[in-house]
Amino acid sequence: MTKPNMTRLIYAIATMDTKGEEIAFVAEQVRVAGAQVVTVDVGTGHPPRVSPDILRERVAASHPAGAATVLGLTDRGQAVSAMSVALTAFLESEHAAGKVGGVIGLGGSGGTALIAPALRGLPIGLPKLLVSTVASGNTAPYVGCCDIALMYSVVDVAGLNRVSCAVLANAANAMAGMVTATRPAVERKPTLGMTMFGVTTPCVTAVRQTMETRGFDCLVFHATGTGGQAMEKLVASGLIDGVLDITTTEVADEVVGGVFPARPERFDAILERRAPCVMSLGALDMVNFGARDTVPAAFQARKLYVHNPQVTLMRTTPEENRQFARWIAGKINRSQSPLILLIPERGVSALDAPGQPFHDPHADAALFDELERAVQRTPTRQIRRLPCHINDPEFARALVEAYFEVARPAAGQSVPTPATP
């Protein structure tokens, strides 16, 4: 068991011109619980009603364009957006200096929109809690792919009363507990991120089991848009050492307009961190939609497959596949660390096999050929075609072997010897 670093602080954040009394109450409850805390004012309106430990001017000065860009704005929406940028930079700087043990914020809709992006900018595993009036609705825009704990305020964050005091005290004690609790010691193994869909499960399972027997800690992410973002967040946080991005289907939804989009920054964290990476084309034969009746009218005549009552899949066309290839190539052509892309020539998903509804060698060939044309190959950036289906055991073996090949040149990484799946 490891003890927490008691010199680190809990940062209690609110717009203290309207929620100063409430955040001061939270801070006091944190102190009673035995943790150290500082209050942070991110208000952009009237002067704070309670004196903060960290002034809004200090936070605003962290904005890349300076404090005047934040505090000189008269439009509230613009000021909130600018203060959010400043707060993100401020907390990142404080965390880099080793000062941040956890962060708790209070907000209505505006305060939540201001504080949540800054919490998302902090590493996975750092305690972060947001008490919000909008925490019971669609929380995806606030949480994203991060481990932010949301607590519904029940009543508005507007004064101290029998309900708000109970909720805020619970939040304060939860944050103090997260920061001061003794944490279990976990063996540090080399950690791999992998992407998977149901239609690539046999491949990813075989790879995962092999890598686990070789001493790796394998984190598998469901390639639903958020899954890819979560994996890359962990890469950016230094919690993933290498990547087997086997199921890159999120690119299809990004390009065509499905419900599991990659987002434009997909692959960026992997490339920026120069993480050893092996990629493949899992499930790029499909675009994901919701229930059958939610498929856009423009696609109603396409080849559709009802995966379950909530998910309808659409087979991709040769031209769409060429677009995917160019999208992927535009990313990996920037790679500065070893990267291998493996192409399974006999199909990219369980539905893309002889006798299955999405089997279309012509559409697959468009994807494969355009990738070979568009990717600028170098000694460390390679494409290899294999006469396998993605779920064939030999393809899983090839992925494992390729990973050890790209990982060995990685700076200082000790890589075990591969084993046969």
Burial (CB count <10 Å: 0-12, 13-18, 19+), residue 318: middle
> What would the mean pLDDT of 310-320 be, rounded to a whole number?
96
Residue 4 pLDDT > 80, yes or no? no
pLDDT at position 340: 97
- pTM above threshold 0.95: no
Residue 1 pLDDT > 70, yes or no? no
pLDDT at position 408: 83
pLDDT-derived band at 112, boundaries 50, 70, 90:
very high
Which residues are CB-neighbours of 205 under 8 A, at least 6 positions away?
none
pLDDT-derived band at 416, boundaries 50, 70, 90:
very low
Contact (Cβ atoms closer than 8 angstroms) between residue 86 and residue 60 = yes
Cα–Cα distance, 335 to 382 (Å, whole number): 11
Among the residue ranges 41-45, 71-75, 242-246, 269-273, the one predicted with the least confidence is 71-75
Cα–Cα distance, 54 to 13 (Å, whole number): 9
DSSP string, 139-185: -HHHHTTS--EEEE-SS-SSS--HHHHHHHHHHHHHHHHHHHS-B--
Beta bridge partners of 158: none
> pLDDT digits over 72-110, tens only?
888 888 999 999 999 999 999 999 999 999 999 999 999
CATH of 9-180, one of 1.10.3720.10, 3.50.30.50, 3.40.50.12020, 3.30.360.10: 3.40.50.12020
Higher pLDDT, 409 or 208: 208
Strands 217-222 and 191-196: parallel
pLDDT-derived band at 420, boundaries 50, 70, 90:
very low
| Terminal Cα-to-Cα distance of the chain (whole angstroms) | 34
Burial (CB count <10 Å: 0-12, 13-18, 19+), residue 22: buried
Asked if the domains 9-180 and 191-407 are classified in one and the same CATH topology, the answer is yes
% pLDDT > 70, the chain: 95
| Domain segments of the chain as ranges | 9-180, 191-407
Residue 417 pLDDT > 90, yes or no? no
Which has the closest alpha carbon to 364: 289, 255, 277, 252? 252
Residue 291 pLDDT > 50, yes or no? yes
Q: Which fold has domain 191-407?
A: Rossmann fold (3.40.50)
> What would the mean pLDDT of 112-129 be, rounded to a whole number?
94
| Token couple for 12 | 């209690």
Cα–Cα distance, 398 to 388 (Å, whole number): 10
pLDDT at position 138: 82
